[in-house]
Amino acid sequence: MKAICFYFEVHHPEQLRQYHFFDIGKQHDYFDYYRNRTEIEQLARDCYLPANELLLELIDRYKGRFKVAFSISGSAIELLELHAPEVIHSFQALAKTGKVEFLCEPYAHSLSSLSSDTTEFERDVKRHIQRIEELFGQTPVTFRNTSLIYSDSIGERIARLGFRNILTEGAKHILGWRNPNFVHHHPSDTKIKILLKNAKLSDDISLRFSSKDWNEYPLTAEKYAHWLKDSLRDSDVVNLFMHYQAFGKYNTPDSGIFDFLRYLPQYVLDDPQYAFLTPKEVVATFVPKEAIYVPNPISWTDEERDITSWLGNELQEDAFEELFGLSTKVEATGDEALLRTYSRLQCSNHFNYMSTKFIPIEQRLKKVSPYSSPYDAYINYMNVLSDFTLEVDKALKK
C-alpha cells in the first residue's frame, strides 16, 4: 500500500484592539470584538463551510476511502462557537463519518512548548484534549504542535503527556539525504512515531496553486495525482500538511481550488494500491524507517523552518519572557476569567506580528498583520500585558 495523508490546520487568532498606554489601569477589554467577528464570519463563508461540505461529499462518494485529519485551535473553536456555530456543526458532521481524525495541539495555539515552565504547556494540551472530546467525541492520539514546532526535547515532553504520534515539518536541514515520505521515530524512543510534512507537495497547493508566475500553473488534479504517485514510487506515505485556509482564502474559489480538491481523489484512487489514511492509521500501517534527529526547534514557517518568526528579535524575546513569567502568578489567583484571558494572550500570532524578518512574496498572503509595524505590535501587546499584570496582582491581594 502507498498512502496520502491530508492534515489541515484550522486556526484564527483573536486580534487585540488598539490599546494605548493611558488605557493601562482603566480599560480591561483587550480584544477587538468587531474585527474578530467580521474575520471569522468571512472565513466561515469563503472557506470552512464550502470546504467541509465538499469533504463530506467526497467521503460519501468514495465510501469512506477518502480521509483527512484536522487540528482546530482553541481560539478558532471559541470564535466559531460565538460567531459561526454552523461551522462547528459541520465539523461534527465530519466527525460522525468516522473517516476524520481530530488531532491535539496547545489549546491557545501558543509557544508554551518553548517555555521552561512545563506546567503551562501541559495545562494547554490537556485543555485541548478535553474540548475535542466534548465537541467531536474523539480522544486525540496524534499531536501536532503550534505551526509544527518540534525538537527532540519537545518530543519527549509530548510523549510524557501520552502521545506517541507526532507531526512536524520535513525541514531540509534536518532531513539531509533522508526521504520525508516514511514514518520516522524519535532518536531515544522508537515508540514515538514522527510524520514529516512533504514541504514541496504541500506548498504546491497552499502557496503556489494560484500563482500565474509559477511554471506549473495551472495545477490540475490529474497532474498533481501523478506527482503524488511518482513521489511514492520508492516510499510509503506523502504527508500533505497545510492551513485549511488554502481552500477559499489563500486560493480563492475562482482559482479552481475547490474543483481541484473535488477531483483529486478520483485520480488517486483509480489505482487500488493507493489510499488516503489519517495520521493514526499511517503509524499503524507502516514500520518506522529510521530515527530523525532534531536538536533545535523547527517549524513549518518561512524558508528557515525554525522559530525565528516568533522569537527572532529582542522585542519578541522580551514579550515572551514577560508573558510566561506570569504563569505561576496567574495560576495562583485561581480566577477563571484571568486564566482564560492569559490563555488568549498566548496565541503565537501576537509574537509573529512583532517579527522583523523578510517575508518571501509567495508567503505574504499568510502574513497579514493588523499593525503598521512590528514595533507597534510590540507596544500594543506590552500595554495589554501591563494592564493584565496589574489585574493579576490585584487578584492575588484579595
In a domain? residue 249: yes
**Spatial distance between the Cα atoms of 22 and 80, rounded to a whole number of angstroms:** 32
Cis amide bond preceding 218, omega within 30: yes
Q: Which pLDDT score is estimated for 362?
A: 54
**Spatial distance between the Cα atoms of 222 and 225, rounded to a whole number of angstroms:** 5
**Spatial distance between the Cα atoms of 41 and 46, rounded to a whole number of angstroms:** 9
- Return phi, psi of residue 32, to 5°: -85, 90
> Are 275 and 382 contained in the same domain?
no
For residues 261 and 54, the answer to whether their CB atoms sit within 8 Å is yes
Is pTM, for the whole model, over 0.85? yes
User: Residues 287-335: pLDDT tens digits?
Assistant: 999 999 999 999 999 889 999 999 999 999 999 999 999 999 999 999 9
Question: Can you give the chain as a three-state secondary structure string?
Answer: CEEEEEEEEECCCCCECCCCHHHCCCCCCCECHHHHHHHHHHHHHHHHHHHHHHHHHHHHHCCCCCCEEEEECHHHHHHHHHHCHHHHHHHHHHHHCCCEEECECCCCCECHHHCCCHHHHHHHHHHHHHHHHHHHCCCCCEEECHHHCECHHHHHHHHHCCCCEEEEECCHHHHCCCCCCCEEEECCEEEEEEEEECHHHHHHHHCCCCCCCCCCCCCCHHHHHHHHHHHCCCCCEEEEEEEHHHCCCCCCHHHCHHHHHHHHHHHHCCCCCEEECCHHHHHHHCCCCCECCCCCCECCCCCCCCCHHHHCCHHHHHHHHHHHCCHHHHHHHCCHHHHHHHHHHCECHHHHCCCCCCCCHHHHHHHCCCCCCHHHHHHHHHHHHHHHHHHHHHHHHC
Q: Which pLDDT score is estimated for 174?
A: 95
> Are 282 and 341 contained in the same domain?
no
> Are 246 and 172 contained in the same domain?
yes
User: Which structural domain range is residue 366 located in?
Assistant: 314-397
Q: Which residues of the chain have pLDDT under 70?
A: 359-367
> Are 286 and 374 contained in the same domain?
no
In a domain? residue 297: no
Residue 160's CATH number: 3.20.110.20
> Are 90 and 148 contained in the same domain?
yes
Q: Which pLDDT score is estimated for 206?
A: 95
> Are 248 and 331 contained in the same domain?
no
User: In terms of Cα–Cα distance, which of 284, 384, 263 is closest to 14?
Assistant: 384
Q: Which pLDDT score is estimated for 117?
A: 81
> Are 30 and 166 contained in the same domain?
yes
> Are 215 and 125 contained in the same domain?
yes
Domain end position, chosen among 236, 257, 291: 291
For residues 108 and 65, the answer to whether their CB atoms sit within 8 Å is no
Domains: count for the chain: 2
